[in-house]
């Protein structure tokens, strides 16, 4: 679990970051969504059975907590050239959204509620039996 830098093409007009399957995103991109207009309420509190995602704060900042069932780490996302890959079977929570936070998420699958593990005890059981 670590943050990943993405290349920015920057000139006197500003920056441009391109996210491309097979180039800097190691999966086929099936879905893009973003969280915005966020308040004090933390989000997430679930893991995914299969879904792989890349999270990048394209504006503002937030904290992403990732837990693999043994250890948990907090990552501050506050740079549009830095994101974090969130692999399957990681419990995730998003906290501390700044007023201007826009959290962009690139995913390798369409939305599927059946892929969510929303109970932490179920998550721990699954992690411990996953091979
Ligand atoms: C994740 C974190 C980072 C849809 O209809 N389509 C979608 O593509 C998504 C992502 C959500 N939804 C619906 C499901 C819920 O009724 O939107 C509602 C809010 O979703 P949720 O409470 O799961 O949102 P977050 O911010 O807790 O979690 C989201 C993603 O769901 C999740 O996969 O990893 O962002």
Nearest-CA residue for atom 34 of ligand 1: 44
User: Would you give the DSSP letter of residue 88?
Assistant: S
**Residue 93 to residue 42: CA distance in whole angstroms:** 7
Question: What are the angstrom distances between the C-alpha of 91 and each of 23, 66, 103?
Answer: 27, 6, 17
* pLDDT tens per residue, range 80-92: 999 999 999 999 9
The per-residue pLDDT for 88 is: 96
The per-residue pLDDT for 48 is: 98
Report the candidate in 44, 66, 55, 65 with the shortest Cα–Cα distance to residue 101: 55
Catalytic residue status for 2: no
The per-residue pLDDT for 1 is: 80
**H helix count then E strand count, the chain:** 1, 12
Cα radius of gyration (the chain): 15
For ligand 1, the distance from its centroid to the CA atom of residue 44, given in whole angstroms, is 8
Burial of 130 (0-12, 13-18, 19+ CB in 10 A): exposed
* pLDDT tens per residue, range 57-103: 999 999 999 999 999 999 999 999 999 999 999 999 999 999 999 99
Nearest-CA residue for atom 21 of ligand 1: 44
**Residue 81 to residue 56: CA distance in whole angstroms:** 8
The per-residue pLDDT for 130 is: 84
Average per-residue pLDDT in the chain?
Answer: 97
When pLDDT is averaged across residues 8-16 and rounded to a whole number, the result is 97
When pLDDT is averaged across residues 111-128 and rounded to a whole number, the result is 97
For ligand 1, the distance from its centroid to the CA atom of residue 43, given in whole angstroms, is 9
Say whether pLDDT at 131 is over 80. Answer: no
């Amino acid at each position: 679990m670590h943050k990943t830098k993405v290349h920015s093409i920057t000139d006197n007009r500003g920056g441009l970051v391109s996210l491309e399957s097979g180039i800097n995103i190691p999966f086929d991109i099936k879905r893009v969504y973003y969280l915005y207009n966020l308040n004090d309420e933390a989000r997430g509190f679930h893991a995914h059975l299969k879904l792989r995602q890349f999270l990048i704060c394209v504006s503002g900042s937030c904290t992403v907590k990732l837990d693999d069932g043994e250890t948990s780490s907090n990552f501050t996302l506050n740079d549009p050239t830095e994101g974090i890959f969130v692999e399957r079977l990681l419990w995730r929570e998003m906290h501390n959204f700044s007023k201007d936070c826009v959290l962009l998420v690139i995913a390798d699958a369409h939305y599927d509620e059946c892929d969510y593990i929303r109970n932490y005890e179920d998550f721990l059981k699954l992690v411990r039996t996953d091979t």
